[in-house]
Structure 1
Amino acid sequence: MVKNTGRPGYLQIADDLREQIRSGALTPGAPLPSTTRLAERYEASLSVVKLAVGVLRNEGLVIGQQGKGVFVRESAAPAPPEASSDELTEIRATLQDLSERLARVESALSDRP
């Protein structure tokens, strides 16, 4: 069921289905329940369920087959690679630099009459 948490319902549904795929409850090649059944299960509209399935399609976790349904991909998209400590250090330095530059711009703008 979609909860009133402030997070959009379609993202809650996508999160739940994604977790089922990653945990193995929905195995590669397995069909997702129909849009109607998912709407009933999550007490959501068909359009909200379709948005959730669209999110999973964009992530490469499911694939639609015209006239047959939506299936868990045989080889779901791999998780993004973790950044190395050197990359994280570089990202932090860049963020620090941008923060300092933004502070200077804001200061200059606030000094104007």
Structure 2
Amino acid sequence: MVKHTGRPGYLQIADDLRAQIRGGALAPGSPLPSTAQLAEQYDVSLSSVKTAVGVLRTEGLVVGQQGKGVYVRDAAEAPADLAGEVAELRSAVQELSVRLARLEERVTSTGHPA
């Protein structure tokens, strides 16, 4: 059941399903319960469940098969170097932050854009 913690219900559901996947309760290749079953289990709307499953799809933890359902993705099928991609993104954000700080400093010190 979703708790009233201020955290959106769909994220609580995604957190719980993610923990079940990582903990082995939902094994690779196994189907997730149906949207209706999950909605009943968590006492939420179908749209909350669909959004939660969408989060897991985006993370690469589950994959949908048209007309069959949603299945836990095998770790071997997950994106190859997710950690590497995250590191690259962090580096790019850091670089942009430094550049933005320089631009803000110029604007502040001169009173107009560089």
**Category of TM-score, reference length = shorter chain:** 0.7 to 0.9
> Within 5 A, what are the aligned runs for 1:20-59?
20-59=20-59
Divergent runs of 4+, >3 A = 87-94
Residue 104 of structure 2 corresponds to which residue in structure 1?
102
Decide whether aligned partners of structure 1 residues 39 and 98 sit closer, same or farther in structure 2, where only a CA change above 3 A counts: same
Comparing 57-66 with 87-96, greater Cα deviation is found at 87-96
Partner amino acid, structure 2, of 1:101: L
Aligned mates of 1:88, 1:70 — CA distance in 2: 31
Segment of structure 1 superposing worse, 71-80 or 7-16: 71-80
Aligned residues: 108
SS for the counterpart of 1:6 is coil
| TM-score, normalised by the number of residues in structure 1 | 0.72
Gaps of 5+ in 2: none
So what's the TM-score if we normalise by structure 2?
0.72
Q: Which residue of 1 aligns with 2:82?
A: 80
Shift of residue 92 of structure 1? 5.0
Aligned-residue offset at 1:89: 8.2
SS class of match (2:31): coil
Counterpart in the other structure of 2:70: 70
Identity within the alignment, %: 60
Separation in structure 1 between the aligned mates of residue 93 and residue 66 of structure 2, nearest angstrom: 43
Change (3 A) 1:53 1:91: closer
Instruction: Quote the Cα distance in structure 2 between the aligned partners of 1:15 and 1:102.
Output: 38
What SS is found at the alignment partner of 2:33?
Answer: coil
Distance 1:64 1:93, change over 3 A: closer
Cα gap change, 1:6/1:63 in structure 2, threshold over 3 Å: closer, same or farther? Answer: same
Q: What is the aligned-residue RMSD (CA, Å)?
A: 3.1
Runs of at least 5 residues in structure 1 that lack an aligned partner in the other structure: none
- Partners in 1 of 2:74 and 2:90 — Cα distance? 32
- Tell me the CA shift for residue 102 of structure 1: 2.5
